[in-house]
Amino acid sequence: GAVVSQHPSWVICKSGTSVKIECRSLDFQATTMFWYRQFPKQSLMLMATSNEGSKATYEQGVEKDKFLINHASLTLSTLTVTSAHPEDSSFYICSARSGTGWSQPQHFGDGTRLSIL
């Protein structure tokens, strides 16, 4: 149980295009999902907290207009990288918490490798 699916797992696109990454909780409802970014050989950095039915909360230094987050339902959050450039190339990982109590663990998706040419 508690599976989080991310799609696509790998995407390559040209500079200037927009890319949408989906994060789905397959067997549980998640009112809150989280988006992380991981550069090669570095740690995961929280980008934003995605809340179902409301605006995402972005961490300091993360451009809201660059990284659009939509949490349309209790099982789906999307991250859209708008007008992507080579410096946006990274590994993006989402996580979702099962249950409403903060003691519940977060479950991670398998990540999306984004390469901008």
Partner 1 sequence: AQTVTQSQPEMSVQEAETVTLSCTYDTSESDYYLFWYKQPPSRQMILVIRQEAYKQQNATENRFSVNFQKAAKSFSLKISDSQLGDAAMYFCAYRSGDDKIIFGKGTRLHILP
* Residues at the site binding partner 1, with contacts judged by CB under 8 A: 32, 34, 38, 42-46, 49, 91, 93, 95, 97, 102-103, 105-106, 108, 110-111, 113
31 vs 20: CA distance, rounded Å: 20
Label residue 72 exposed, middle or buried (CB < 10 Å: 0-12, 13-18, 19+): exposed
59, 7 Cβ separation under 8 angstroms: no
Minimum gap (Å) between residue 21 Cβ and partner 1? 14
Q: Which residues contact 43 (CB under 8 A, 6 or more apart)?
A: none
Judged by beta carbon, residue 78 or residue 107, the one nearer partner 1 is: 107
Judged by beta carbon, residue 28 or residue 108, the one nearer partner 1 is: 108
Minimum gap (Å) between residue 95 Cβ and partner 1? 8
Minimum gap (Å) between residue 26 Cβ and partner 1? 15
117 vs 15: CA distance, rounded Å: 6
Minimum gap (Å) between residue 16 Cβ and partner 1? 26
Judged by beta carbon, residue 32 or residue 80, the one nearer partner 1 is: 32
